[in-house]
Structure 1
Amino acid sequence: MSTDKRAGRKLVRGQRSTTVNERVSYGLDDAFQLFYNVKKAEGMRERTLADYKAHWRYFREWIDEKYPEVVLNDITPSIAREYYIYMASGRTKYEGVEGREIEGQALSPTTVAIRLRTLRTMFNFWSAERMLDINPVANLKPPKEDEDEIEAFTDEQLRLLLATPDTRTFAGFRDRTLYMLLADSGLRIQEALALTSEHIDIKSRCIHLSAAMNKNRKPRIVPVSADVMRLLFELMTENKAYFPEATHLFITAYGDPLTSDTVRKRLTRYGIEAGIDGDVRVSPHTFRHYFCKTYLLNGGDLFSLQRIVGHSNITTTRKYIQMNDENVRAQHAQFSPIIRLRAGKRR
């Protein structure tokens, strides 16, 4: 009898106290909700949680079309690889319906890599929780990506853009101050828009960002130039005079915190007015690219740049070493041994 009991209670991997014939099957949506709740409890950022939802929705739509009624443990490595190929190759909508077929469009390697990374995070979680027999994405590798040149403003483009806002108005002065800050500090747009007067250290000309404000969850100090600090002080003074209850540094004409969506829309309009739209991507992040590339071109080192902009990995910072042909020519003209030798003879 004891032998029969032991045989009847043999555990299957991924179960706690069920029999062989009572295998637990986790529904896809239930599994995702567990994953989502745990990540939210761990303090994951709202933007990351939103990405989890979006990427899971894309996967579920494909699964519902190709493999309806499946549960979590039904997803095999071959199914995962099929989805991977689908993302990289595109699909044909209304396939088989004559006259309605629409050829699909492949996602970029970067997008495929991001969505694959999200799925890997999910399936690794479920695997660690013993909700899976096999991790279906364990052997999937992200696609190789061409290393594109990082697009940043040129000095002339930045001058044209900074000259566009009408600084006689509050909104124009605020916008120009924001752009000056982004170009001078390399702050991310969300970091800049979250600033209050408490973050500004006028005496030491620094901005103190708390760990909660940083993408890598570490506090950091960002130095700014005297010119930009003067503009920030002027903006704080004006805010206090007209909106004493406002806490944020960058606010609307009604005293509400400025949003990144509003910044992007106004920046697009300024780019068109400045005549640089189409020549360069006019976005808040392009200021960050400008700061990083210019910092290195002017002799700054990688490690101090990494600390200023808050990169968690030096590999990310190292990408800014890339230079276009114009940068290379300018650097050669400045540091060429022969040019320096000829300059010495003229003296």
Structure 2
Amino acid sequence: MQKINGLLLEFDRYMVDCDSRGLSKKTMRSYEQSVRLFIRYLADKHGVESPEKVKTDHIKEYLIYVRKRGKYSVLVDDNTAKVNGPHNRPDYGRQISETTRANYQRNITAFFNYLHREKVIRKNPTEGIKKIKPQRKVKALLSENELQIFFRAFDVTTFHGFRDWIIARMILDTGARIGELVPILPTDIDVRHGALLLRHTKSGKERFVYFSQKMGRNLKSWLEYRDRYTDSIYVFPTTRGNLMDIRTVESSFKKHSRLVGLDVQPHQLRNNFAKYYLINGGDWSTLSRILGHSSVEVTQQAYLDFTDKEVGKQYQKHSPLNNLNI
């Protein structure tokens, strides 16, 4: 009789709990990848398959091991290698970034916090482990010219080209996450007041974001175009009328931006929305609400990475001497 891996059993229960709390598919995929890899490591390297036998040292050793092993050199299921072909990836074997290691640590900690909360384990092995804090990379602020070039790369005469163009402009104009925009319905849009209700948010709490008059005209044109080609319930459906996959949008952005020598990602447009909002005189408190952050402090930590050039541009706009008749 085959022995049951208790950690895998508890992890399956944990994923059901995450799903019941409405966590995004992207977050769920992240948990699946990182925690299952850790569970495999425990079984292969230490013969540990029970939650209560996991020690703090196991986790510390694993985080060191992750730094040393190369990308895609270890898989959750070796059988998937034949289908996915990780050896053919250009970054195969490269060192894993500190950001990825920090994500692994965060996901493993969340799993064991759950086990401790549910009284599956008496002692939480993640307690006392110093958090990995990777150095934040300054996110580039796309210039007006770069944004113009990027938007021109889309062929708006096609259904998917027009759709992806609108989505890109919506992110830049509202600061919404791509995962929050994909499932919206026409009833979530108030064109008259320039408001959009986001129901599927990262926090699980509904919130409003707002769009400009220019975006309102773009959106109206898209809805009229969309209605001629599909009766889908979604504002941004696939060509067959189904719910869009986030990765499809990400691939589209990468494809179109590289056609014009750029590398634009959905979250980068959200980041640019926030920076341009601040540069143009917006306040932190309102920005925090629009972005759906839990506090102003969270927003400030995320968007205080202005470059010297960006700071200089903002200074020139708000300089006391420039704005006073003296």
Bucket of the pairwise TM-score, normalised by the shorter protein? 0.7 to 0.9
| Aligned residue identity for 1:315 | E
1:52 corresponds to: 31
Other-structure match for 1:8: none
Per the alignment, residue 123 of structure 1 pairs with: 112
Quote the offset at 1:52 in angstroms: 2.5
Amino acid corresponding to residue 80 of structure 1 in structure 2: I
Offset at residue 181 of structure 1 (A): 1.4
Q: Which amino acid aligns with 2:13?
A: L
**Mapped pair 1:241 → 2:228:** yes
Judge conservation of contact 1:76–1:134 (CA < 8 Å) in 2. no
Per the alignment, in what secondary structure is the counterpart of residue 41 of structure 2?
Answer: helix
1:69: Cα distance to partner? 5.1
Q: Highest CA radius of gyration, 1 or 2?
A: 1
88, 99, 109: which one aligns with 1:110: 99
Separation of aligned partners in 1, 2:70 and 2:156 = 50
1:140 to 129, 148, 163: 129
**Secondary structure in 1 matching 2:121:** coil
Change (3 A) 1:235 1:228: same
Aligned to 1:303: 285
Taking a change above 3 Å as real, the CA distance of residues 62 and 43 of structure 1, as seen in their structure-2 partners, is: same
Quote the Cα distance in structure 2 between the aligned partners of 1:259 and 1:40.
17
Find the aligned partners of 1:183 and 1:195 in 2 and give their Cα distance: 17
Structure 1 distance, partners of 2:16, 2:27, is 13
For 1:301 and 1:85, how far apart are their aligned partners in 2?
A: 41
In structure 2, C-alpha distance between the alignment counterparts of 1:122 and 1:171, rounded to whole Å: 38
Tell me the matched-pair count. 304
Match of 2:11 in 1: 32
What's the counterpart of residue 9 of structure 1?
none
Distance 1:328 1:272 in 2: 28
Question: Could you tell me which residue of structure 1 aligns to residue 86 of structure 2?
Answer: none
- Whether the aligned pair in 1 keeps the contact of 2:181 and 2:198 (CA below 8 Å) is no
Summarize the Cα distance change of 1:154–1:29 in structure 2 as closer, same or farther, 3 Å threshold: same
8 A Cα contact 1:112 1:142, kept in partner:
no
Q: 2:85: which partner in 1?
A: none
Aligned to 1:12: none
Q: 1:59 to 1:251 in 2, by over 3 A?
A: same
1:229 is matched with which residue: 195, 213, 216? 216
Q: 1:334 aligns to what?
A: 317
2:174 & 2:69 partners in 1: Cα distance?
A: 40
Residue 295 of structure 2 is matched in structure 1 by: 313
Residue 44 of structure 1 and its aligned partner are, at CA, apart by: 4.1
Q: Does 2:198 align with 1:209?
A: yes
- CA deviation map 1:190-211 (0-9, x unaligned): 222212211110111111222x
**Cα shift at 1:297:** 0.4
Check conservation: 2:39, 2:49, Cα contact below 8 A: no
Tell me how far 1:295 sits from its aligned partner: 0.2
1:192 matched to 2:178? no
Look up the match of 2:205.
218
Shift of the 297–81 alpha-carbon distance from structure 1 to 2, 3 Å rule, reads same
d(CA) in 1 for partners of 2:169, 2:20: 37
Displacement of 1:154 in angstroms is 1.9
Distance 1:43 1:205 in 2: 27
Residues 1:33 and 1:153: Cα distance change in structure 2 (over 3 Å): same
Pair 1:70–1:246, CA change in 2 (3 A): closer
- Please state if 1:150 is matched with 2:139: yes
Gaps spanning 5+ residues in structure 2: where? 75-92
For normalisation by structure 1, the TM-score amounts to: 0.78
Partners of 1:47 and 1:335 in 2: how far apart?
Answer: 39
- Aligned AA (1:231): N
The 10-residue stretch of structure 1 (144-153 or 297-306) with the greater mean CA deviation from structure 2:
144-153
Q: Give the aligned partner of residue 78 of structure 2.
A: none
Please list the CA deviations of residues 274-311 of structure 1 after superposition, one character each: whole Å capped at 9, or x if unmatched.
23x2xxx3111111111000000000001111111212
The CA distance in 1 between the partners of 2:160 and 2:109, in whole Å, is 44
The Cα RMSD (Å) is: 2.8
For 2:38, what is the secondary structure of its paired residue?
Answer: helix
Contact between 2:139 and 2:268, CA under 8 Å: does it hold in 1? no
Q: Relative to structure 2, which stretch is displaced further, 121-130 or 55-64?
A: 121-130
Residue deviations 1:8-28 (CA, integer Å, cap 9, x gap): xxxxxxxxxxxxxxxxx9832
Tell me if the contact between 2:288 and 2:296 (Cα under 8 Å) persists in the aligned partners: yes
State the TM-score, normalized to the length of structure 2: 0.82
**Distance in structure 2 (CA, Å) of the matches to 1:339 and 1:203:** 37
* Letter paired with 2:307: N
Q: Which amino acid aligns with 2:190?
A: D
Residue 164 of structure 1 pairs with residue 156 of structure 2: no
